[in-house]
């Protein structure tokens, strides 16, 4: 009995020590995840500008959102960005992944170079592309004028501004998606390609009937990550255009930021954030269902 009692005491002591190991994460979750979420949800029903006390206003923030044309304009801009960015991201990432998966020299060097923009600060990348896009002295327009082409108003024309930001965001983030596609390509069994060769399938048919179907889980993951990143678009329009010209690059996140920290509408910004998160979730789920349905 004494041995059994000692064993039980030792087990309980180990269980209690496990709680101490979990405690830092629990504290982190409560302070930086649970509390901000609960506080943001409470803000939905209040008017607050940080300085004065919170004022209960019920569902007025939500009713204001439903009649706010600027919010719908920001949502439209975000979807325009996603419409350009996601296909461009997938095509460029898959193309480079196929190239790097083949037997070429210095593959390791190229992989590091393509991934380098991912680890560089977003502000630094944005300032770099701001110099490239500058209308008067930008590198791109300087090259165009030297070969006889007119200058392109990359960031000062509402037609070019959002596509220009989408191109820059693709260059910034494509490295991580190249890595994901490489992992997917290297996990495809070689037996499938050997069987396709025996059936007389060309390289194009192998790509569409073997490679793409086997990459479907990777494509679903990349589309979801690109969508979440697109809905989080903030640094690029904030630094490059400030949301202009004519609010053509006013993204959802930038609009929420302006409402919270520029106008001091913290309650309305919290409402925008929750609605924005719900829309993002619905879009990701719809994309996943669509891709999986087309694959089957």
| Boundaries of every domain in the chain | 2-43, 64-295
pLDDT at 1: 46
80-86 mean pLDDT: 94
224-242 mean pLDDT: 90
* Percentage, residues of the chain above pLDDT 90: 40
pTM, 2 dp? 0.86
How does the average pLDDT of the chain come out, rounded? 86
pLDDT at 252: 92
Please indicate whether residue 207 or residue 5 has the higher confidence score (pLDDT).
207
At residue 4 the predicted structure's pLDDT band, cuts being 50, 70 and 90, is low
As a whole number of angstroms, the distance between CA 56 and CA 94 comes to 51
| pLDDT above 80 for 261 | yes
As a whole number of angstroms, the distance between CA 237 and CA 244 comes to 8
Nearest-5° angle of CA 103, CA 109, CA 114? Answer: 100
As a whole number of angstroms, the distance between CA 36 and CA 109 comes to 42
At residue 106 the predicted structure's pLDDT band, cuts being 50, 70 and 90, is low
As a whole number of angstroms, the distance between CA 178 and CA 96 comes to 7
Please indicate whether residue 59 or residue 12 has the higher confidence score (pLDDT).
59
Domain 64-295 part of CATH 1.10.3720.10: yes
Which residue(s) pair with 56 in the sheet? 46
pLDDT at 79: 94
| pLDDT above 50 for 182 | yes
- Residues sharing a CB contact under 8 Å with residue 32, sequence separation 6 or more, in sequence order: none
| End-to-end Cα distance, the chain | 62
């Amino acid at each position: 009995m004494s041995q059994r009692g000692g064993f039980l005491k030792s087990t309980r002591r180990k269980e209690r020590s496990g709680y101490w190991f979990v405690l830092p994460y629990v504290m982190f979750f409560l302070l930086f995840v649970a509390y901000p979420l609960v506080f943001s949800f409470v803000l939905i029903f209040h008017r607050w500008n940080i300085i004065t006390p919170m004022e209960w206003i019920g569902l007025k923030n939500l009713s204001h959102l439903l009649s706010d044309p600027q919010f719908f304009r920001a949502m439209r801009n975000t979807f325009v960005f996603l419409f350009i960015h996601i296909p461009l991201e997938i095509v460029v990432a898959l193309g480079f992944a196929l190239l790097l998966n083949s037997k070429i020299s210095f593959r390791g060097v190229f992989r590091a170079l393509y991934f380098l923009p991912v680890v560089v600060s977003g502000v630094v990348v944005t300032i770099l592309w701001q110099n490239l896009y500058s209308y008067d002295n930008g590198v791109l327009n300087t090259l165009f004028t030297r070969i006889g082409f007119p200058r392109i108003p990359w960031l000062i024309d509402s037609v070019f501004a959002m596509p220009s930001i989408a191109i820059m965001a693709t260059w910034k983030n494509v490295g991580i998606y190249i890595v994901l596609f490489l992992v997917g390509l290297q996990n495809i069994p070689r037996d499938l390609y050997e069987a396709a060769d025996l059936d007389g399938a060309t390289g194009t048919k192998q790509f569409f009937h073997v490679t793409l179907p086997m990459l479907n889980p990777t494509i679903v993951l990349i589309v979801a990550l690109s969508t979440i990143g697109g809905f989080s678009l903030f640094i690029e329009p904030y630094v490059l255009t400030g949301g202009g010209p004519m609010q053509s690059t006013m993204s959802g996140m930038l609009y929420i930021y302006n409402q919270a920290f520029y106008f001091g509408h913290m309650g309305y910004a919290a409402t925008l954030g929750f609605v924005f998160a719900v829309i993002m979730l619905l879009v990701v789920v719809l994309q996943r269902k669509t891709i999986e349905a087309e694959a089957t």
